Amino acid sequence: MTREQNIVITGASAGLGRALALAYAAPGVTLGLIGRDVVRLDASACACRNRGATVKTARIDVRDAQAMQGWLHQFDDAHAIDLLIANAGAASTLASTSDWEELERTATIVDTNFYGALHAVLPVVARMRLRKHGRIALISSLAALRGMAISPAYCASKAAIKAYGDSVRPLLARDGIGISIVLPGFVKTAMSDVFPGEKPFLWSPDRAAQHIQRQLRAGRTEIAFPSLLAFGMRLLPLLPAALADAILGRLSYLPREDR
């Protein structure tokens, strides 16, 4: 497949987003990096420039639909986007049985993870459809495959991303646009560091980014890793709900009881 020259990555200031930016950074590549922390975003941009890439940055909250559309259209006018990676996300976990995700907390997670992804995808896909070219990678999670009591809003938002990608894939394929849904397991980032449950098969951000890059270049429509954890998560929905809940509880994916 043709190598991408113009790439936009949201949530590029740290974690998996920064690792993806570095994986794609090379001479002849123009990167559009979006993040909220200007200091860390500038550090990501500097590291990418040191690898020979041309980099443009934007300090935008992906929940701001108008700001996202304005900047993405401006970038696309100058550098027709070949690949968009909608990576920005936020997490929420329940610390104990007395903890609860009220409306505001739930809305923050859903707005960031799901609507934030749409605010990146929709302005870009409209341009890609006219060009009959491009690929969009939606960063979901293995948590999309089965809800977990420890993170209801996060699981719901990631499941929504997967459902949306699955829904529009055949429509956009008619216009020559590829949709890839990425379902990572645990990747060592600030987000995973605060996760209170077990983190089996933990990958480094660089390993995850390089794997995603290879799979995207191969045109994969779904990229789930690590394979053993992905297999287990796909199996859970096939089990009786009570049994699946018990398994997740034994793996510490159930908020601890207050004492």
List residues with catalytic annotation.
154
Strands (E), the chain: 6-10, 30-35, 54-59, 83-86, 134-139, 177-184, 222-225
Among residues 81, 79, 68, 59, which one has the least CA distance to residue 13? 59
Among residues 156, 155, 16, which one has the least CA distance to residue 86? 16
Handedness of CA 249, 252, 254, 255 (dihedral sign): positive
Distance CA 79, CA 81 (A): 6
Among residues 159, 227, 155, 167, which one has the least CA distance to residue 235? 227
Distance CA 223, CA 142 (A): 10
Distance CA 91, CA 139 (A): 13
Residue 137 phi, psi dihedral angles, 5° rounding: -110, 120
CB contact at 8 A, 113 and 161: yes
Phi-psi region of 132 (alpha: psi -120 to 50; beta: other; left: phi over 0): left
Distance CA 259, CA 244 (A): 25
